[in-house]
Amino acid sequence: MKNPYAVETVRIKKCVNEAPDVRTLLLDKKMDFNPGQFVMVSLLGFGESAISISSYPDLQITFRRAGNVTNALFEKCTGDEIGLRGPFGKPYPLNEIAGKHILLASGGCGIAPIRSLLKYYLLNENSFSGASLFFGARNPSMILYKNELKEWRKSFEVHLTVDQANSEWEGNVGVVSLLLEEFKLPANAAAVVCGPSIMIKSVAETLGKKGMPESDMIVSLERNMRCGLGKCGRCNIAEKFVCLDGPNFRWSDIKWRV
Amino acid sequence: MFIKKSALAAFVNSAARKIDFYAPTGNAFEKVKFFDEINLSDKTLFSAKKILFPPEEELFSFKNNETRTKTVSKNTVIFGLRPCDLSAFEYLDAFFKDDPYYTKRREKTILVGLQCVSRFKNCFCHLTDSFYSDYYDALLVEEAGGFFIDVKTDAARKLFKPAKRLMERGGGKELLSRIKNKLAEKDLEINDAVIDSFAKDCFSCCACTSVCPTCTCFDILDKLDELNRGKRVRVWDSCQLQNFTRVAGGFIFRKERLDRINQRIYCKFDYSKKRFGRMSCVGCGRCIDVCNKSINIFEVLGNEKPLRC
């Protein structure tokens, strides 16, 4: 029997500072995963943390320093080793959203798994009818993946907004759902949403008003996870475990508990 | 078959010398050496789950980035398990079926049951369909002067081989078949108003989840011996604690006590049914026995009152 708690040591190939307290690590490991899945990152002695995979098909993770493990992880850089388990969780339902216009709405670090899907999209552009990205950050310095935005804009629309603008910011100010209100929803669209639960709720509500069926909205949820195996008992929403059945759910299946 | 009490005692005294022999000693299931230490007439305060799912268990030890895993498996007998406890192990076996630590222990464990003939205080197994369970390797039913014994599996036959010559034909097969004629399973409905009243009483002490034979929630912690050396352990945790669902950044998903009690009640009677096809509550009533506020989990199932005996 394979030990699901065994940790594999993986080297950090590259480390990129995305924003204050947010970092992306490229890991030297071939892993068989799909966009929307996550890994358990270990620093022996500090503990383990569930972190979204933020790229495809290469293995990258993007995280904000927020707790014990991520604080310690922030000390690690190119050449250092970390522990890894995974991948865990169910990926985005790629077959279901194939052929559709995918509307990606993300807030803060919630863009990490969305970027994985975007990279998949760029490799399989022909199997979708289009994409548009909506990204809300707390302030202009918290906009992640700044270097890639230009490249992305060649293939799909990118809409940015910030909660608090500074003197240099000329773009939108306000929450993501405000941006969406002005957006003309293409026919045959599906949404993929990741961010704080208040943002998920308001985005879902806005999209609902625009006529998108709740079963076409895929939302990614955050919970405390210790094992990734549906055993430790803390990430469940009713009988569904976010680590096993999620983290990506159809809004229609889960909205009553978010 | 029938075995006299003195013969069973002789068997236990001899078997307990060679293998880890756990049996009820009053409050808990403990490792015993002699039959005289065993108490077969009471319900234990703690369940037997800790023998296969210890309160703290090493997942692996580490030094720098090197890890070493050791799994423990010793020949073990758990003796004197009530039907509710047998039913609990049936649930745990399904729950932990992919868990190498649990299954390694379980593979070498023999379950010897002890059929109840009446209910203890706070017992509710007539509602959870666990007044009788066939999930045993061997089962004892107390009779005048001794026990009726059903040795069912090969592992149990091997264990009881030395006692075979001490067994006699006969014994209360009829009694067992009468017990097997279980009370009809009822369609249970959860009354949410009762859960609301529990939330006013409960103070999240977690006694209920500690004694429960099917509570499995755990935390994973790293314990350091030196800066570069230590072990990763799995320790019991409880859904009743506020920080159980806290994420980095401080948000707590089940912050209110009501949410946490809801979680426990629905986990026992509803979620487990959806995930494992059976409820995880086995009606042992231990959570009622230990509750400081006399919260009775079965009150949520309508007007069912405990059957006193």
Residue of chain B nearest A82, judged by CA positions? B65
Distances (CA, A) of A14 to A69, A77, B249: 19, 7, 26
Q: Which amino acid is at A244?
A: L
Give the three-state DSSP class for A222. Answer: coil
Query: B104 CA to chain A: closest CA distance, Å?
Result: 10
Q: Using beta carbons and an 8 Å cutoff, which residues of A are at the interface with B?
A: 1-7, 9, 44-49, 66-67, 70, 81, 83, 222-224, 226-227, 229, 231-236, 238-239
* Lookup: tokens for A130: 């289009």
Judge whether A3 lies within some domain.
no
Chain B partners of A3 at a C-beta cutoff of 8 Å?
69, 100
Q: Is the peptide bond between A247 and the residue preceding it cis, with omega within 30 degrees of 0?
A: yes
Chain mean position to CA A157: 18
Is the CB of residue A191 less than 8 Å from the CB of residue A207?
yes
Q: pLDDT above 90 covers what percent of chain A?
A: 93
Instruction: Out of A31, A62, A88, pick the residue that ends a domain.
Output: A88
Chain A partners of B98 at a C-beta cutoff of 8 Å?
1, 4, 229
Chain A partners of B67 at a C-beta cutoff of 8 Å?
6-7, 44
Are A211 and A116 within one domain?
A: yes
- CATH number of the domain at A17, please: 2.40.30.10
Residue ranges of alpha helices (H) inside chain B are 5-18, 49-52, 83-95, 100-107, 125-128, 154-160, 173-180, 192-201, 207-211, 257-266, 272-276, 286-290
Mean pLDDT of chain A: 94
Return d(Cα B115, Cα B105) in angstroms, integer: 24
Judge whether A237 lies within some domain.
no
Q: Give the domain extent around A70.
A: 8-88
Residue whose entry in the numeric block shows the structure tokens 């759910």: A249
Query: Cβ–Cβ of A232/B219 closer than 8 Å?
Result: yes
| A170 Cβ contact list (under 8 Å, min separation 6) | none
Query: A255 CA to chain B: closest CA distance, Å?
Result: 15
Query: Cβ–Cβ of A5/B224 closer than 8 Å?
Result: no
Return d(Cα B204, Cα B193) in angstroms, integer: 19
Query: B1 CA to chain A: closest CA distance, Å?
Result: 38
pLDDT of B234-263, one tens digit each? 999 999 999 999 988 888 999 999 999 999
Of A244-248, B49-53, B188-192, the least confident: B188-192
Judge whether A189 lies within some domain.
yes
Are A214 and A107 within one domain?
A: yes
Query: Cβ–Cβ of A231/B221 closer than 8 Å?
Result: no
Chain A partners of B103 at a C-beta cutoff of 8 Å?
1
Query: B201 CA to chain A: closest CA distance, Å?
Result: 23
Judge whether A55 lies within some domain.
yes
Chain B partners of A47 at a C-beta cutoff of 8 Å?
220-222
pLDDT of A199-213, one tens digit each? 999 999 999 999 999
Q: Is the peptide bond between A213 and the residue preceding it cis, with omega within 30 degrees of 0?
A: no
Are A106 and A210 within one domain?
A: yes
- CATH number of the domain at A174, please: 3.40.50.80
Mean pLDDT of chain B: 90
pLDDT of A212-250, one tens digit each? 999 999 999 999 999 999 999 999 999 999 999 989 999
Q: Identify the band that residue B181 occupies on the pLDDT scale cut at 50, 70 and 90.
A: low
Enumerate the domain spans of chain B.
2-180, 192-301
Are A50 and A126 within one domain?
A: no
Instruction: Out of A49, A70, A88, pick the residue that ends a domain.
Output: A88
Are A84 and A99 within one domain?
A: no
* Lookup: tokens for A138: 């707390």
Query: Cβ–Cβ of A5/B247 closer than 8 Å?
Result: no
Interface mutation vs chain B, best among A11, A44, A74, most B CBs within 10 Å: A44
Provide the domain count of chain A: 2
Are A70 and A107 within one domain?
A: no
DSSP string, B134-147: ---SEEEEEETTEE
pLDDT at B309: 39
Give the three-state DSSP class for A160. Answer: strand
Query: B222 CA to chain A: closest CA distance, Å?
Result: 5
Judge whether A228 lies within some domain.
no
Instruction: Out of A88, A113, A134, pick the residue that ends a domain.
Output: A88
Backbone angles phi, psi at B38, to 5 degrees: -85, 140
**Which of A1, A70, A239 minimises the CB distance to B271?**
A239
DSSP string, B61-114: EEETTEEE-------EEEEEE-HHHHHHHHHHHHHTTT-HHHHHHHHTEEEEEE
Are A82 and A68 within one domain?
A: yes
Of A16-20, A164-168, A254-258, B285-289, the least confident: A254-258
Are A48 and A116 within one domain?
A: no
